[in-house]
Amino acid sequence: MIRVKTAIACGVLATVHGLALLANFAAPYSFAAQKREFAFAPPTAVHWIDRHAHFHWRPFVYGSNGEDESRVYPIRFCTRGYSYRFAGLFPLNRHVFGVDAPGVLFLLGTDGFGRDQFSRLLAGSRISLTAGWLAAILSLALGAVLGGISGYHGGLLDDLIMRMSEISLALPWLYLLLAGRAFLPLDAPSSTAYLVLISVVGILGWARPARLVRGLTLSLRERGYVLAARTFGASGGYLLRTHILPDALSVLVTQMALLVPQYIMAEVTLSFLGLGIDEPVPSWGNMLAGVQHYHVLVSSWWMLLPGVPPAVVALCCFTIADSLASRAGAIPL
């Protein structure tokens, strides 16, 4: 049972990442393309059966986002659209699906500028997933190094690092993130702001992995083979690299599976509050920011849909972390 669940979770995660990689190919519109006449348009209804009750093998949509039933636009597959670079390499203008020009196809509705939510969600998944992964790698690397040093050396250095980790754990993480973000000018260009966001989230999260690795190192350094290597005159760096870190790897992988969704949520939260990724580049968080307006929340339910992918990714990651941890025989925090 747990194997089936883990397999499904891995499959879903792979699909989400694949879609993010091929975002341009899978998206019918560019994330920045505006169709002002279709602002806050609800998801387009896709039909197989027309108003004369005839069945069509090829699905179709009605004109004017489903309002004009006199005009019919069949959905075309592998169609031509805006040009982009496929997987960032060679130019292409093919897209998985789309409809001919005056017809529109908004699978998940549009936002206030008439931009296709589905296309933006795909483009945003690149930003959000990358942010989650990079921040997790950063904080794990930082945590592994500091925790390894702290556990291996002990003494004053250990005390210092552990007190520092207590301080950063003693502050509520969101307050700390906001304070860290306040360190930067508000009008920084968005690529800088993105990198800064990732490093702030990653660096502030160093304490938990560091304490974990320290505990592991403390128990590992007393193992027979480590002691043996030390009597042969192995240096501290060598021991950490070849004996201690490889053993700590399984714990680090589990920790990774827990940190990635956590940092994706951090990006979503910060961007939602207006301190993360700036418009017009979409991310899962800043797409949700539109809902802060009362009328949007009340009248356009599809604006809440960008909250679904982070939840799915998190569920998959937690399932994987669970099965990893149950293999190791521990309950993850």
Question: Which one of 170, 189, 224, 231 is in contact with another protein (CB under 8 A)?
Answer: 170
Restricted to residues 233-262, the positions that interact with another protein (CB under 8 A) are: 261
Answer for the pair 73, 99: CB distance below 8 angstroms, yes or no.
yes
Window of 11-19, 27-35, 151-159, 166-174 that interacts with another protein by CB under 8 A: 166-174
Determine the Cα–Cα distance for residues 70 and 72; give it in Å rounded to an integer: 7
With CA atoms as reference, report the closest residue to 303 among 311, 312, 294: 294
> Which CB, 189 or 224, lies closer to another protein?
189
Q: Does 12 bind another protein (CB under 8 A)?
A: no
One residue of 120, 126, 181, 211 binding another protein per CB under 8 A: 181
Binding status of residue 8 toward another protein by CB under 8 A: no
Residues with Cβ within 8 Å of residue 103, at least 6 apart in sequence: 61, 63, 71, 73
CB closer to another protein, 179 vs 227: 179
Residue with tokens 């500028």: 113
Cβ proximity of 161 and 149 under 8 Å: yes
Residues 106-165 that bind another protein (CB under 8 A): none
Contact pick of 179, 195, 227, 328 for another protein (by CB under 8 A): 179
Give φ, ψ of 69 to 5 degrees.
Answer: -80, -5
CB atoms closer than 10 angstroms to residue 4: 8
Is residue 243 within 8 A of residue 228, CB to CB? The reply is no
Enumerate the β-bridge partners of residue 72.
Answer: 62
Residues 271-310 binding another protein (CB under 8 A) are 272-275, 288, 291-292, 294, 297-298, 301, 304, 307, 310
Letter string b/e over residues 102-137, b meaning 16 or more CB atoms within 10 A of that residue's CB: ebbbbbbbbbebbbbbbbbbbbbbbbbbbbbbbbbb
Tokens representing residue 216 in the block: 């592991």
- Our finding on whether 16 is near another protein (CB under 8 A) is no
CB of 175 vs another protein, minimal distance in Å:
5
Annotate each residue in 182-221 with x if it binds another protein (CB under 8 A) or - if it does not, as one string: xxxxx-----------------------------------
Shortest separation between residue 252's beta carbon and another protein, angstroms: 21
Site for another protein, rule CB under 8 A: 166-167, 169-176, 178-186, 261, 265, 268-269, 272-275, 288, 291-292, 294, 297-298, 301, 304, 307, 310-312, 314-315, 318-319, 331
